[in-house]
Amino acid sequence: MHAVKTGEEISVAKIVVVTLRRDDNVITAERDDLIENPIVISLPILTARLRPSYVADRRFQNNGETWGPRFVPRPPACQNFVGEEKNTMSPPQRVSRRDFLEGSLATGVAGAIAGSVLGCDRAKAADGGSAAAGPATSEPAAGTVPYGMIGKAKISRLLLGGNLVSGYMHARDLKYVNQLFRAYVTEEKMMETLRLAESQGINTVFETGAHFVARYNREFGGHMQFIPHIQVPLGQDEQSLKDHIQKQVDSGAVALYVWGVSGDRLIQADAVGQLAKAVELAKRHDLPVGVGSHSLRVPMECEQHQVPCDFYVKTLHSDQYPSATPKAMRKEFIWLDGGEGWYDNMWCINPEETISFMQTVTKPWLAFKVLAAGAFDPKQAFPYAFKSGADFIAVGMFDFHIKQNSELVGRVVQREQTRERPWRA
């Protein structure tokens, strides 16, 4: 592998992408995955479309240093192919079980090779080195996500968030985004996404997507777990709730949790007793049971009234992004009631108070909405969540996010072994 000189022409079959990021007027570089040709490199300061034969005539200078793409020269046997321009999002393809399993084996071999070449440099570039593993996780193999225990369930510290499995995206005022998502994530693409997730050590899908998980495990030999939510409408009769819980258990659940919207609405209506009853009924199935919420009032009420849940599912993200609701306009349950200042744009209105309260809680904390629906880069959001006390994070991810996010979580968890809030799982 070598840096391409200005004017040098090299034919390539695979490219190691260098992504340039500008932060506080300093440009840093990170090498990305080996990606098949041809590919579009999107940079904040340049978009360059690479063909099979590329003249490296674009370089970037900052503080006297020169940065540019790095290439793996294409072997002679790979010379003959059509160099048409394509989008980096590969079109969906039908996947047979045989092809799928063969692809899994090939990915494992390629991953081992790529990890030996890139792993050390990437960890140092992104994090400035990693601390030794500590009590929060077993020693992970290279390229895998560490895990923790909730009851008897072994859960990866990074879970595959359900919105991008079930087909919904928070998009603020961008109305086309959900349609775009559904056009890209076909059922075959979802099978590939689950395979990629499991290959990186992500072993659990969170909230929704039971039929995808069931198909993946049944047809492709997967071992993906599932944590579904329990919907508890205000005033629901007990038998209806029992039937709903049974249905969720039968989906293959390794844990259950009261849906965040239900938790919010019940506490908003001062119905903590109904919330406690739902938890008690769910616990009869000998599974860990959590309580979800966007409002900090929910875990506070649960702790005060000793609701017998096993873990909390609570939003967490910083409010330092342009579309965050101004503090003067934030109000409890704004995500339920709407009104001025709300346009599908903020899910944790009081992050400092959330962090402070969760310091006092001894139960595991699974944080969600950590990216504020795309307002933050994972390199900002993941360290913030784990350093602030989250034991797990659930993140909606496309297939092309999974490898880099998994590696990032592994490094961050190792580095935060001695954080202020003890690891509770």
pLDDT at 79 over 60: no
Residue 356 has pLDDT above 70, yes or no: yes
pLDDT top residue among 168 and 154: 154
Phi, psi of 95 (to 5 degrees): -120, 120
pLDDT band at 170 (very low <50, low <70, confident <90, very high): confident
Please state, in angstroms and rounded to a whole number, the distance separating the CA atoms of residues 159 and 143.
15
- 218-240 pLDDT, tens digit per residue, is 999 999 999 999 999 999 999 99
Best CATH choice for the domain 116-415 from the list 3.90.105.10, 3.90.1150.10, 3.30.230.10, 3.20.20.70? 3.20.20.70
Average pLDDT over residues 153-164: 91
In terms of pLDDT, which residue wins out, 209 or 129? 209
Q: Over range 265-273, report the average pLDDT.
A: 97
Q: How far, in Å, CA of 292 to CA of 299, rounded?
A: 8
Number of C-beta neighbours around residue 349 at 10 A: 23
Rounded Cα distance between 208 and 220, Å, is 20
Measure the N-to-C terminal CA separation of the chain; round to a whole number of Å: 41
Q: Where in the chain is the domain with CATH 3.20.20.70?
A: 116-415
User: Looking at the DSSP assignment, which residues form a beta bridge with residue 32?
Assistant: none
Looking at residue 95, its pLDDT comes to: 53
| pLDDT tens for each residue of 52-61 | 333 333 333 3
**Can you give the pLDDT at residue 63?**
37
Q: Taking residues 389-398, what's their average pLDDT?
A: 96
Question: Which pLDDT score, from 0 to 100, does residue 25 have?
Answer: 39
pTM: 0.69
Span 344-365, mean pLDDT? 95
Q: Would you say residue 131 has pLDDT above 50?
A: no
Helices (H), 174-237: 177-184, 187-199, 210-220
Residue that wins the pLDDT comparison between 50 and 145: 145
Q: What's the whole-number average pLDDT of the chain? A: 76
20 phi/psi in degrees, rounded to 5: -95, 130
Confidence of residue 181 (pLDDT cuts 50, 70, 90): confident
- pLDDT for the residue numbered 182: 83
Closest CA to 253 of 380, 181, 333, 153: 153
Share of the chain above pLDDT 70, in %: 66
122-136, 241-255, 303-317, range with the lowest pLDDT: 122-136
pLDDT greater at residue 351 or residue 27: 351
- Under a CB-based contact definition with an 8 Å cutoff, are residues 268 and 333 in contact? yes
Backbone angles phi, psi at 45, to 5 degrees: -115, 0
How confident is the model over 279-290, as a mean pLDDT? 97
